[in-house]
Structure 1
Amino acid sequence: MTHAGRAVGSRRLVVAGVAVLLLALGLVALMVVRPSPASSSGAVSPSGRSAPADGSVDAGFTRDMSVHHQQAVEMSFVVRDRTDDEDVRRLTYDIINTQANQRGMMLGWLELWGLPKSSAVPPMRWMGHTVRPHDGALMPGMATDTQLDALRAARGEEAEVLYLRLMTAHHTAGAEMAGAAAGSATTDAVVHLAAGMVRGQHSEIALMADMLRERGAQP
């Protein structure tokens, strides 16, 4: 990788990371300064309205994206310890922090709404999709157990390329899910967070495409 390529990748990552961080901080502030009245059941919504129902888009997205984010965090921890490349390690750090924070926020919303954090309803049913888990991959874009084993076994540039490819697929599917929630959810905070995820993940997809090309690889 050239010095110029590393510098461009670093600048783009910093901009994307700052934008997502500011969005998350803004949503936390919104939840703190805007008191939410209790609904008839005692549950509340971050938007100040009655809490969404268990089968709502808001609840389905919040649960599914929490699971989706958890795998992204796990993959990032794996690769962080298997490469010395500064740009890749910075990317893993950004994904770990951003998605772990967003996951905590979403699980907190489920708690506020009085809803369970897991459900017997199949993933992505709220999108009208019928998903069949395959080799440990519960939703589109998620890595299979076989792919995760390969990632854990890889080192250096091999690990970097595999991670960037897997995370590109992960982000692509995650952005599609977030876009559906941004257009259909009824809770303001969910809509804002989902829209921010779309922007942030598309930015990182473009960054990862550049990083793959610098390594002579395709997404």
Structure 2
Amino acid sequence: MTRTHWTAVVAIVLALLFAGAATVASAGDGDGGGDRHPTPNLADAGFARDMSVHHQQAVEMSFIIRDRTQDKDIRTLAYDIANTQANQRGMMLGWLNLWGLPALDPSAEPMAWMTAGDGNPHAGHATGETGEGAIMPGMATKAQLEKLNTLSGKAAEIEFLQLMIVHHNSGVAMAQGCVDQCAVTPQRDLAQGMVDAQRSEVELMIDLLRKRGAQVRT
């Protein structure tokens, strides 16, 4: 494993350890109605699984760009994304464990939980295109990650920002789906925090792109 991969693994492990106690406490608070063992619905479980995978890639991309640029603003942004999303991932995996559910469900189609009860896709479900090899909309493909790993300086910064904006936009759509559908209050609160924070980061990344003479990738 490369130093970047080892660092990413260590960050995730630490996030799991630090988030464990908070996860048990918050999930134990119930759904706001005094139930100390809230029952998650399909959206709670699906969101926790899919967003954990989504966050893992954001952490990976953040560590890649950290090693490909010396720009202070980009490195600070990457640190914030990696730290925040590694901790949130730890919380979601902790909830799944608390609920007695597997972290992965091979039989479930990614983001299928975002389909509303009337059979129509949730408004956010279609956000972003699924490139060849991408697990779900908005996520970078293996080829895109490999390209990012070959770039440096301004070129790497632009590639990272373009990929992460698309990644964040799909993450916002998924988190909004949980806000609208999840049953467990701490899970909904976490999702709302993701919506607010990632929308703000998208605005920042668009500004950073413009300063580098580049545009958002469509």
TM-score range normalised by the length of the shorter chain: 0.7 to 0.9
Match runs of 1:84-99 below 5 Å: 84-99=70-85
Distance of aligned partners of 1:33 and 1:198 in 2 relative to their CA distance in 1, 3 Å threshold:
closer
TM-score by length of 1: 0.77
Matched, 1:183 2:180: yes
Match of 1:124 among 102, 111, 114: 111
Contact 2:49 2:93 in 1 (8 A): yes
Match of 1:197 among 189, 194, 213: 194
CA distance in 2, matches of 1:209, 1:133: 21
Structure 2 residue identity aligned to 1:209:
I
CA distance in 2, matches of 1:181, 1:87: 31
CA distance in 1, matches of 2:58, 2:191: 16
Cα deviation, 1:147-185, whole Å, max 9, x if unaligned, reads: 111101100000000000000000000000000100110
CA distance in 2, matches of 1:30, 1:107: 9
Cα drift, residue 146 of structure 1 = 1.3
RMSD (Å), alpha carbons:
2.5
Structure 2 residue identity aligned to 1:168:
I
CA distance in 1, matches of 2:208, 2:174: 24
Aligned to 1:83: 69
CA distance in 2, matches of 1:34, 1:144: 33
Structure 2 residue identity aligned to 1:141:
G
CA distance in 2, matches of 1:144, 1:215: 24
Cα drift, residue 52 of structure 1 = 1.6
Match of 2:209 among 191, 200, 212: 212
Cα drift, residue 68 of structure 1 = 0.2
Contact 1:49 1:187 in 2 (8 A): no
Distance of aligned partners of 1:33 and 1:84 in 2 relative to their CA distance in 1, 3 Å threshold:
closer
Aligned to 2:146: 149
Aligned-pair identity (%): 52
Helix, strand or coil for the counterpart of 1:81?
Answer: helix
Distance of aligned partners of 1:34 and 1:63 in 2 relative to their CA distance in 1, 3 Å threshold:
closer
CA distance in 2, matches of 1:81, 1:114: 38
Distance of aligned partners of 1:58 and 1:208 in 2 relative to their CA distance in 1, 3 Å threshold:
same
Structure 1 alignment gaps of length 5 or more: 1-24, 38-46
Structure 2 alignment gaps of length 5 or more: 1-17, 116-120
Cα drift, residue 191 of structure 1 = 0.4
Contact 1:171 1:205 in 2 (8 A): yes
CA distance in 1, matches of 2:64, 2:38: 40
Aligned to 1:48: 36
Aligned to 2:25: 32
TM-score by length of 2: 0.78
CA distance in 2, matches of 1:88, 1:199: 20
Structure 1 residue identity aligned to 2:58:
A
Contact 1:73 1:96 in 2 (8 A): yes
CA distance in 2, matches of 1:36, 1:133: 37
CA distance in 1, matches of 2:164, 2:102: 28
